A and B are shown apart, each in its own frame.
Chain A
Amino acid sequence: MSDPIIRLVDLHKRFGELVVLDGVSFDIPRGKTTAIIGPSGTGKSVLIKHIVGLLEPDQGEVWVGDVDMATASERQKYAVRKRFGMLFQDGALFDSMTAGENVAFPLRFHTNLSEAERRRVAEEKLALVELPDVYDRPTAALSGGQRKRVGLARAIVLEPEVVLFDEPNSGLDPMTSDTIDELIGRMKKQLGITFIVITHDIVSCVDIADYVAMLYGGKLVEYGTVQQLIHSKQPIVRDFLKRNVELPPL
């Protein structure tokens, strides 16, 4: 793999007695979609919180370009975060704002655009996620799938280099999940940015990912292309996959 945009080196994290990450190392390639999979409680969300500097590792390095987020100053972290967008599980939309104001929100702080220009950009991004008419709609009036799509529009409004998805399909019905997956696939083609997706949904992972990292018990147990994952001989990987995809015989 060439030109990684993010490098994780020997990452360790524990909360009290609970070891969440236990020496995780791998590279995330630029311009590709990398899925991070694994059972609940294996440290997937903790891992991406390290990438954006929301958590600091007990040991190890998190390189984003030439900045180690583990030791970066607050100013450096904020500079790096401007290159990221993130879709949280529930969208993390601000309830006091409309859908469109949520999308335009980062533009208020990081651009010199006028209010009318911010609205235009936000409407463009909402159209990109197939929600062209919701700018003035209160967030409380959005469905679960719409909240995720508005969250996605907000995540890409500053045209970041990397977008992180924390379980984009959780809590959605299968049809809405498919729509979100299609959206991710289409945006990857259109925008050419790096996606990092945390998911339990193996079908979704096979559909959208170029590379897959599987965590188990705080350790990286498999990393490679989707085909490499499907052909993995590791029992834990096969156990995890067999409920959802047809695996080749060993």
Chain B
Amino acid sequence: MNAVRELGRFGLFVGSWFRASVTRPPPIRASIEEAYRIGVLSLPILLIISVFVGTNLALQGYNAFAPLGGQRLIGMFVALAGVREMAPIMVASMVAAKAGTEMASQIAVMRIRDQIDALEVMAINPLWYLITPRFLGILAVLPALTMISIFTLTLSAYLVAVFQLGLDGGEFLDYFAQTTILTDFLYCGVKAFFFAIIICFVSCFYGFHCKPGPDGVGGATNSAVVVSAVVCAALNYLLSELLFGGRGL
């Protein structure tokens, strides 16, 4: 019952934001600043993790296929597991953990310090002022971060496959290219688009509905990252089924 009520509140929250935002101009400068904060500042950690996810995909692909004599298929394994699945959900989880928690905690602190009420009294709609730049910012950068992650993990997997495991680089790329078509990148962008929407609204929702006191801020931040990650993971499965499900390799 609580979950249904919470879902209803979430729906009303998003609806209120939509009404507030369509009647006001988009805050372009603030959106660019948010895109910078979310994108550029998340990039170093994203690159590091993507490198090591790529290395481990190559290693574990080798361990799985080598006993069967199929170590040449590592390129295919990286394309299926890394490009289609790992990169989008990994980027979403990282952005939820970094930018999502930042959104939730910033807004929650504003709530408990009366700053959101102050915006209302100054006749500035807080939903528009606080959410729209974050929404446009994350929407702009999450697909781009996903593409960067795909490139990085593929490159690191290639380097491990060729220079550590002694496999043929041409074969790696050949199998990778056979398994990955241009549409796959588009579909990864589609996944990132939906994940961006989920992370932004879930994080802002918990920030806006923060309970009073420091515990409230902690609770809002925690709920934001947990709910974002779980919903993104479930949505990743649904989108994979919808986008890649019937296509095979």
Contacts and interface: CB of A to CB of B under 8 A. Distances in A.
Contacts of A78: 123, 125
Contacts of B113: 90, 92
B122 interface: yes
A92 B116 CA distance: 9
B118 A92 contact: yes
Interface stretch (A10-18, A23-31, A104-112): A104-112
B114 A88 contact: yes
A85 B120 CA distance: 11
A92 B114 contact: yes
B117 to A, nearest CB: 6
B117 A109 contact: no
B124 A109 contact: yes
Interface in A72-98: 78-79, 81-82, 84-86, 88-90, 92-95
B122 A88 contact: no
Chain B, interface size category, equals 10 to 19
Contacts of B123: 78-79, 81-82, 106, 109-110
A81 B124 CA distance: 9
A81 B120 contact: yes
Contacts of A53: 120
B121 interface: yes
Interface in A15-68: 49, 52-54
B60 interface: no
Contacts of B125: 78
B114 A52 contact: no
Contacts of B121: 52, 54, 81, 84-86
A94 B117 CA distance: 12
B115 interface: yes
Q: Which of B114, B121, B124, B125 has the most CB of A within 10 A?
A: B121
Contacts of B122: 81, 105-106, 109
Contacts of B115: 92-94
A52 B118 contact: no
Nearest to A49: B117
A86 B124 contact: no
A54 B117 contact: yes
Contacts of A49: 117
Contacts of B118: 86, 88, 92
A95 B115 CA distance: 10
B114 A90 contact: yes
A249 B117 CA distance: 43
Interface string B117-140: 110111111000000000000000
Contacts of A106: 122-124
8 contacts: A52-B120, A78-B123, A81-B120, A81-B123, A84-B121, A89-B114, A92-B113, A109-B124
Closest 5 CB pairs of A and B: A92-B118, A92-B114, A81-B123, A88-B114, A78-B123
